[in-house]
Amino acid sequence: MTRPVTDQDWLAERFELERPHLRGVAYRMLGSLSEADDAVQEAWIRLSRTDTSAVENLRGWLTTVVARVCLNQLRSRRTRRETPLEPFVADPIVTPQSGGDPEHEALLGDSIGLALLAVLETLTPAERVAFVLHDVFAVPFDEVAEIVGRTPAATRQLASRGRRRVQGAPVPDADLDGQWAVVDAFLAASRDGDFERLLAVLDPDVVLRSDGGMARPRLDSIIRGPRAVASNAMLFRRLAASARRALVNGVPGGVVPSPAPDGAPFAVLAFTVRGGMIVEIDVLADPERLARLDLDLDVLAG
């Protein structure tokens, strides 16, 4: 016998249709895939317990719920962090060099790189939510204002401040093959221990951002300038030799296996190439977060 469709069944189907959108909103706000999934799950819990008969725009209602959950999470994170200068590298979206799956492509959407997420991390929680909702997802300021608890005029200012910061984020070159050529040259120079060749592909204002988490705090750093970045690359050239090429948030990068017998991922690297030079390198080496990403090194190797 066919089971009758209930209101809960209908809601569940509608929610699954909106899940990719909601996950994209949460990922841009939080920079964490696991926290984004938690925010989306919280939205489902609230939806399943709410009388939605008066809800005319379900996507808008769900987006508001996710935004409020993310805003609370951002505020909580800000109070926990020891210093605002503590490096935070967002969870990377790693796909084989040949291309990603539809789920990852939907999540990346307008190609949100780690460099842009690093800029978003410098915003206040209210600025980040206002910018993401209005500028990325076209939510009207009146609705955003209700979420962040400000007037529409003040919310416009929040988004404007976020926009000015984001405009300073480096935009990668359009030619992906050209980007790979620069990154390959960097990795080859690192493996060979050739300091001058490293300098040749590093922008004068290059920044290296490394997040080792609580397990590897010695890797937490923000390094600026080509000579300092090249010196750091020389220290880790043995690891560079084993890096598996991959796309990381749509730009060239790689996954470095651990030298330990289990071969678990030791770090994920992402390179932002602009004007034929590397302008940013993002390194996630937090073992707990890497484990949650569930990276398949065999797939990347293939």
Q: For 62-93, b where at least 16 C-beta lie within 10 A, e where not — what string?
A: bbbbbbbbbbebbeebeeeeeeeeebbbbbbb
pLDDT at 217: 77
Give the fold, CATH level 3, of 176-301: Nuclear Transport Factor 2; Chain: A, (3.10.450)
Q: Does 301 have pLDDT greater than 60?
A: no
Segments making up each domain of the chain, as ranges = 7-82+96-166, 176-301
Owner of token pair 């609370």: 72
Contacts of 245 (CB under 8 A, 6+ apart): 97, 180, 252, 253, 254, 300
Q: Write out pLDDT tens, residues 204-232.
A: 999 999 998 877 877 778 999 999 999 99
Determine the average pLDDT of the residues in 173-183: 95
The pTM assigned to this predicted structure is: 0.88
Q: Poorest-confidence range of 10-19, 136-145, 262-271?
A: 262-271
Determine the average pLDDT of the residues in 163-187: 94
Q: Write out pLDDT tens, residues 114-154.
A: 888 999 999 999 999 999 999 999 999 999 999 999 999 99
Pick the CATH number of 7-82+96-166 from 3.40.50, 1.20.140, 1.10.10, 1.10.8: 1.20.140
Q: Does 80 have pLDDT greater than 90?
A: no
